[in-house]
Structure 1
Amino acid sequence: MAPICKVAVIQLYPKPLQPEHNFNKAATYIRSAAAQGAELAVLPEYHLTNWLPKDPAFAGLCKDWETYLKKYQELAKECQICIQPGTIVESHPDPSPTTSLPTLLNVAYFISHEGKILGKYVKKNLWHPEREHLTGSGRDVHEVFDTPIGKVGMLICWDLAFPEAWRELVAQGAKIVLAPTFWTLNDCNEAGLARNPCSEALFLDSMLTCRAFENTCAVVFANAGGPPGRGYAGLSQVVVPFTGPLVRMGSCSEGMSVVDIDMQVLEDAEENYQIRADLARDDWHYDYRHSNTKDNDDNGSKVKERL
């Protein structure tokens, strides 16, 4: 019999450029989650600062990333709970001598209940407005980490729109995908909003349920919420195959839900859909990466077209 995994998904309004205030609020939720028996607490993307990269104070605050990472490590050890602290934007000196601008990385960590860092992931698929300010992880392979709750993968916000990222994680055995996010209703353009003002909510709900089914995995999606009228999407949720969302929060509310994930549902879904079994086959036919080149094998007899 597969175990039950108790997870806390936390939806916060990140007060702009006030990391200490936001950390203290997050810590209060995490302590509450631990008191309710949660094994893991997951926070949103940009939960310490909000996303204000053009504000002169933003980059300066990101220099304190190690301070807050250590605080979360200490909190995890104190509360005996694993923590996925959303994302923490790290500021590093630019190695190029021609510029004094720092390199900013949007990073997700997995911290064990002993305060140890078990996994680190730098956001790969940057949303268009982020590309002016952040450096992504490029062609680095998506990694899966062994944790006290099983094999875990991490994706961040716009990563969720790329099925290839999920496939890399599932092919390595990920059973739970953690998805810290700062996804708003205003991420849709005017043409889309004219057709459906809630377009991004539809996108999120549909995508998260679909990804859980098509990868026979559980998804823990922690998004930012905020005051009404500012475009916050919220909708933090925990999703599994067959059932869909086990919990789904509102768009504007802050709060936390502690959810029991019956890991047996993942085994039952895999028995039905056999996604992982297909991915593991030697003759699996989607053995390619996207590019504009064509490769021949050693004998020159087989061509894989990389679209």
Structure 2
Amino acid sequence: MTVTLAAASEEFGRDLEENYATIARLVAEATAAGADLLALPEAALGGYLSSLGGRGDPSRPDSLPPAIRIDGPELARVRALAGDLVLVLGICEAAGTEAEPVRYNTAVALTRDAVLGVHRKVHQPLGEGMSYAAGDSFTAFDSPVGRLGLMICYDKAFPEGARTLALDGAEVVVCVSAWPAARTAAATDLAEDRWTKRFRLYDQARALENQVVWVASNQAGTFGRLRFVGSASVIGPGGEVLAETGTGPGLAIAAVDVTTELAAARRAMFALRDRRPDAYALDGRVIAEELVDA
């Protein structure tokens, strides 16, 4: 099954009307290029946090993105914009009750007809937990472009998440991000920034080690104290970069015969088949604190 996959590097801020206009433009560009799936960045509706590391004030409503319910009018409007695409985007999800509201950093896969899948960000960097509750699972689901898995930004720094999706049958993994450049010793050339290099390296490693097609979107430009690295890409199951945007705005678009590419990769290397789960068990030992202290 050949599908055309598109990943956006684009700037999204607080203004929802501007967000809708940007989404409509990107949908039109992706559709004109024959895309079947378009991945928008993390926080594409309402923008990301203005800072990390506890330097912002998440108690102020205007410092946080607008909270959006999965069944609310905002995503209904996005569904109306999606056309024939599978559209993946990030939101600040409103959950819980009016008396006890909860916010999640969430990725949603949808079509004009339905919401296909939802992922709540599991791994939270540098104070993000002050603004969002954490998700607790990685689950693949069926879609018009194959069995799909979702991740958000820092999730991809942990190999267990992507591996869980691959073992759940994911053929295509979409990772939406608001991945910033380094805060200290930042490179003048954003392409040479160490956090740009890590962003790209994680994408290729996760695709290769799980033998999946990887679609990575990201915020571009600046927001608050953050400068984003762009670098959207589509990566094959052998870790090869099929399309990329560079650090500026744009679309990375590639046509991939998913079934054929996965079969070829998995005939040449047996990363999933040859796993030895019995050798990986830690018997419940907690070692994270020891590693940090070291």
The correspondence for 2:131, drawn from 130, 133, 137, is 133
Identity %: 23
Specify whether residues 289 and 143 from structure 1 end up closer, same or farther in structure 2 by C-alpha distance, changes over 3 A only. farther
Inter-partner Cα distance in structure 1 for 2:65 and 2:149:
30
Q: Does 1:91 align with 2:64?
A: no
**Structure 2 unaligned residues grouped into runs of 5+:** 51-56, 287-294
Q: Deviations over 1:202-235 (max 9, x none)?
A: 1112221111111111110000111599622111
Q: Is the 8 A contact 2:49 2:65 kept in 1?
A: no
Within-5 A mapping of 1:28-177:
28-52=25-49, 54=57, 56-59=61-64, 61-63=66-68, 66-76=72-82, 79-84=83-88, 86-93=89-96, 102-112=101-111, 114-138=112-136, 141-177=137-173
Inter-partner Cα distance in structure 1 for 2:207 and 2:46:
30
1:262 to partner: Cα distance: 2.9
Inter-partner Cα distance in structure 2 for 1:248 and 1:68:
29
Q: Does 1:255 align with 2:250?
A: yes
Within-5 A mapping of 1:267-286:
267-279=263-275, 284-286=277-279
Runs of 4+ in 1 over 6 A off after TM superposition: none
Within-5 A mapping of 1:168-207:
168-186=164-182, 190=184, 198-207=193-202
Number of residue pairs the alignment of both structures matches: 273
Q: Secondary structure at the match of 2:116?
A: strand
Q: Which amino acid in 2 is paired with 1:159?
A: D
Q: Deviations over 1:3-33 (max 9, x none)?
A: 2210121111113x21221121111111221
1:292 to partner: Cα distance: 2.6
Q: Does 1:210 align with 2:205?
A: yes
Q: Deviations over 1:54-75 (max 9, x none)?
A: 3532447225762221112222
Specify whether residues 290 and 164 from structure 1 end up closer, same or farther in structure 2 by C-alpha distance, changes over 3 A only. farther
1:241 to partner: Cα distance: 3.2
- TM-score norm. by structure 2 comes to 0.83
Question: Looking at CA atoms only, which structure, 1 or 2, has the larger radius of gyration?
Answer: 1
Inter-partner Cα distance in structure 1 for 2:262 and 2:147:
12
Inter-partner Cα distance in structure 2 for 1:60 and 1:88:
8
Q: Is the 8 A contact 1:75 1:115 kept in 2?
A: no
Inter-partner Cα distance in structure 1 for 2:129 and 2:43:
15
Q: Secondary structure at the match of 1:14?
A: coil
- TM-score norm. by structure 1 comes to 0.80
Q: Secondary structure at the match of 1:259?
A: strand
Q: Is the 8 A contact 1:278 1:284 kept in 2?
A: no
**Structure 1 unaligned residues grouped into runs of 5+:** 294-307
1:289 to partner: Cα distance: 6.8
1:243 to partner: Cα distance: 5.7
Q: Is the 8 A contact 2:35 2:85 kept in 1?
A: yes
